[in-house]
A and B are shown apart, each in its own frame.
Chain A
């Protein structure tokens, strides 16, 4: 009797373990890890269905294309944040870094610098801020929340120092990037920014899911001490995830500057919260150890779709966006919580 009880759970975890290992490769099986992401995709599908049944022209290539075009910068931010959040950290500085790299680009262009110099430079600024955060978190053992909060104030302050007013960008490269539309078929279109964002997603996906570094990221989130004891390069990885997030914020700032064709030190206030919400809605668990880059992409699309639906509705005021995002966030967090409780029992 007692032996039976002892054996039964082992038996039941047997197939689960195999399924967990082979499931993702075969793309089948009901792996619990995928449940939040499946929930995310279901919500996205539902939103498309509701939108499509209520409004004409909702299910069109134009709407979907605009979803990507308007949120290209947020997609990039969410990819970077996914790495940080999977290690169990958080990055509050991304919105301020977007503003800093945007205003830097604008003022450098104003001073007559060339695009091939400016673009790498403003992305590098993000990386450097990420590196500073990483060193603070790892070497000085500052909590990620505080370290990135300091970085947020730092980046925002520096942006203000550069310029308090909005600067228009007239550089031909940026103008070309922002005005080019690649037509695909009759209604679908994309901008170079969308392609850059999708490349970032692809690179993020490859690095997180198919490299040793990516597996270390998951291991740190699952248990930093265990990762250390397994001989994984915890120190290097922990610093690197913040560099990745900072770099993504730099790229995001570049894309935002391209999209608005200007730099302004007040942009991106609260953008870090949108990005965090997108990552959480995308199925990444904030305690770390679990999450997917593609989930974050879907999370961003959901946030964008809320905005689109409210625009289509016409009569709803803009503040409903925030309330709906909050409610959705709550629903997903409770869903995740239920999944975690189930896994334990």
Chain B
């Protein structure tokens, strides 16, 4: 009975249910095969498609943990791809590794600065996160269009293709990058005090400041990281198609990321977060998308299924439903969150 109360129980049930449904429909759904030294199969597809969303959702989790939200990530994704591809496209040697490295450096530095800008609006000027990041969300795609001059920039550069489409030891490079960053963030937040500090800022910024926590720098940091991660995701997305589409790159990725975070059990009210939950949320969304494609339903209808999953997960986690479900054995509600703490640390 206790594990059903775990924060990750329902999201995991949803993910397993999706995978089982797929396996019943296509028995070798979970099968992997080796071809040209690369692994292929639906699970690899899910992993590879998840990489950009995972990065964006990772940054979003930290931002949401401080009771914020970052709507601008989609626009940052577009800007990142636009900057990198415009630089490579205008250089004399698009295929050189040094060109690609400089392009990646410029793009990521700009995205970091955009994240710092959001952090400045939120932490120094004290503007509500939703509207502070709405500014960049609105203007960002215009800026990306400005960079690409309204065109869809396409390039041909072998080293750049590796970021989104390459393989290393049989696995897609993109998921390796995303996995490494995830591990780094997990260690930083759960093995150092950073995670607790972020949570304390999310619970009460003023109280944490009075307690000696540097609320302002922490808020600033999470937005900067969110911008940086969105920038990396933008490189992956543009590298995957070798084109920068200012209008459509990363369109709605902010909504998918927020969805993944919420499905994973991180509350939008801030204060506690679960990185593992976010990963499960991302996999649920990508598996759902793949399922819709495999079932031969038009991919346009995916939003409907997303809506059903969100409504189901959110309602199951709603306080009123939780109270009803836990009302069986009469025990004080305060004790319920207690067993979660060790698990959170492990995450």
Closest Cβ of chain A to B144, distance in Å, is 8
Q: Give chain B interface residues in 293-312, CB to chain A under 8 Å.
A: 298, 300-308, 310-311
Closest to B143 in A: A323
Identify whether the interface residues of B are mostly helix, strand, loop, or mixed.
helix
> A150 contacts which chain B residues (CB < 8 A)?
307, 310-311, 314
Closest Cβ of chain A to B312, distance in Å, is 10
Closest Cβ of chain A to B245, distance in Å, is 13
Take A139-B320, A153-B307, A157-B302 as given contacts and tell me if A333 and B135 are in contact as well, using a CB distance cutoff of 8 Å.
yes
Q: Is the CB of B304 within 8 A of A287?
A: no
- Interface residue stretch chosen among A68-76, A181-189, A272-280: A272-280
- Interface residue stretch chosen among A58-66, A171-179, A235-243, A313-321: A313-321
Bound state CA distance, A154 and B139, in angstroms?
Answer: 27
Take A140-B320, A158-B304, A337-B125 as given contacts and tell me if A146 and B310 are in contact as well, using a CB distance cutoff of 8 Å.
yes
Indicate which residue in B138, B140, B255, B320 contacts A149 across the interface (CB closer than 8 Å).
B255
Closest Cβ of chain B to A272, distance in Å, is 11
- Interface residue stretch chosen among B49-57, B126-134, B194-202: B126-134
B145 adjacent to chain A (CB < 8 Å): yes
B78-95 contact mask (Cβ, 8 Å, vs A): 1 or 0: 000000000000000000
Q: Is the CB of A337 within 8 A of B142?
A: no
Q: Is the CB of A153 within 8 A of B310?
A: yes
Closest Cβ of chain A to B333, distance in Å, is 15
B233 adjacent to chain A (CB < 8 Å): no
> B300 contacts which chain A residues (CB < 8 A)?
160, 164, 265
Bound state CA distance, A141 and B302, in angstroms?
Answer: 26
> A141 contacts which chain B residues (CB < 8 A)?
318-320
Q: Is the CB of A149 within 8 A of B310?
A: yes
Q: Give chain A interface residues in 114-166, CB to chain B under 8 Å.
A: 136, 139-143, 145-147, 149-154, 156-158, 160-161, 164
Q: Give chain A interface residues in 295-324, CB to chain B under 8 Å.
A: 317-323
Indicate which residue in B130, B132, B143 contacts A90 across the interface (CB closer than 8 Å).
B130
Q: Is the CB of A157 within 8 A of B258?
A: no
A41 adjacent to chain B (CB < 8 Å): no
> A46 contacts which chain B residues (CB < 8 A)?
none
Closest Cβ of chain B to A132, distance in Å, is 9
Number of B interface residues in the complex (CB < 8 A):
47
B136 adjacent to chain A (CB < 8 Å): yes
Bound state CA distance, A233 and B272, in angstroms?
Answer: 32
Q: Is the CB of B150 within 8 A of A140?
A: no
Q: Is the CB of A154 within 8 A of B135?
A: no
A286 adjacent to chain B (CB < 8 Å): yes
Closest to B251 in A: A269
Q: Is the CB of B298 within 8 A of A160?
A: yes
Closest Cβ of chain B to A128, distance in Å, is 14
A264-293 contact mask (Cβ, 8 Å, vs B): 1 or 0: 010000000100110010000011000000
B48 adjacent to chain A (CB < 8 Å): no
> A280 contacts which chain B residues (CB < 8 A)?
131
> B305 contacts which chain A residues (CB < 8 A)?
157
B315-332 contact mask (Cβ, 8 Å, vs A): 1 or 0: 100111100000000000
Indicate which residue in B145, B269, B307 contacts A317 across the interface (CB closer than 8 Å).
B145
Q: Is the CB of B135 within 8 A of A326?
A: yes
> B310 contacts which chain A residues (CB < 8 A)?
146, 149-150, 153
> A337 contacts which chain B residues (CB < 8 A)?
125-127
Q: Is the CB of B145 within 8 A of A319?
A: yes
B69 adjacent to chain A (CB < 8 Å): yes
Q: Is the CB of B268 within 8 A of A157?
A: no
Bound state CA distance, A194 and B146, in angstroms?
Answer: 34
> A320 contacts which chain B residues (CB < 8 A)?
142
Query: How many pairs of residues, A versus B, come closer than 8 Å at their CB atoms?
Result: 128
Closest to B316 in A: A140
A38 adjacent to chain B (CB < 8 Å): no
B109 adjacent to chain A (CB < 8 Å): no
Q: Is the CB of A329 within 8 A of B150?
A: no
> A161 contacts which chain B residues (CB < 8 A)?
301, 304
B141 adjacent to chain A (CB < 8 Å): yes
> A286 contacts which chain B residues (CB < 8 A)?
128, 130-131
Bound state CA distance, A290 and B142, in angstroms?
Answer: 30
Q: Is the CB of B138 within 8 A of A325?
A: yes
> A151 contacts which chain B residues (CB < 8 A)?
307
Take A141-B318, A327-B139 as given contacts and tell me if A273 and B134 are in contact as well, using a CB distance cutoff of 8 Å.
yes
B175 adjacent to chain A (CB < 8 Å): no
Q: Is the CB of A164 within 8 A of B137?
A: no
> B131 contacts which chain A residues (CB < 8 A)?
280, 286, 329, 333
Bound state CA distance, A318 and B305, in angstroms?
Answer: 34
Closest to A280 in B: B131
B262 adjacent to chain A (CB < 8 Å): yes
> B318 contacts which chain A residues (CB < 8 A)?
140-142
Take A286-B128, A323-B143, A337-B125 as given contacts and tell me if A149 and B259 are in contact as well, using a CB distance cutoff of 8 Å.
yes
Bound state CA distance, A149 and B127, in angstroms?
Answer: 22
Bound state CA distance, A318 and B246, in angstroms?
Answer: 13
> B126 contacts which chain A residues (CB < 8 A)?
337, 341
Closest to A341 in B: B126
> A153 contacts which chain B residues (CB < 8 A)?
255, 303-304, 306-307, 310
Residues of B within 8 A of A (CB): 69, 121, 125-128, 130-132, 134-143, 145-146, 150, 246, 255, 258-259, 262, 268-269, 298, 300-308, 310-311, 314-315, 318-321
- Could you pull out 29 A-B pairs where Cβ atoms are within 8 angstroms? A136-B315, A140-B318, A143-B269, A146-B258, A146-B310, A146-B314, A149-B255, A149-B310, A150-B314, A153-B255, A153-B303, A153-B310, A154-B303, A157-B301, A160-B304, A164-B300, A280-B131, A317-B146, A319-B145, A323-B143, A325-B138, A326-B140, A329-B131, A329-B138, A330-B121, A333-B131, A334-B125, A337-B126, A337-B127
Residues of A within 8 A of B (CB): 90, 136, 139-143, 145-147, 149-154, 156-158, 160-161, 164, 265, 273, 276-277, 280, 286-287, 317-323, 325-327, 329-330, 333-334, 337, 341
Closest 10 A/B residue pairs (Cβ)? A157-B304, A326-B139, A322-B142, A319-B145, A153-B307, A154-B307, A140-B318, A323-B142, A157-B303, A326-B138
Other than A322-B138, A329-B131, A333-B132, give 6 A-B pairs with Cβ distance below 8 A.
A143-B268, A153-B307, A164-B298, A319-B246, A326-B136, A330-B135
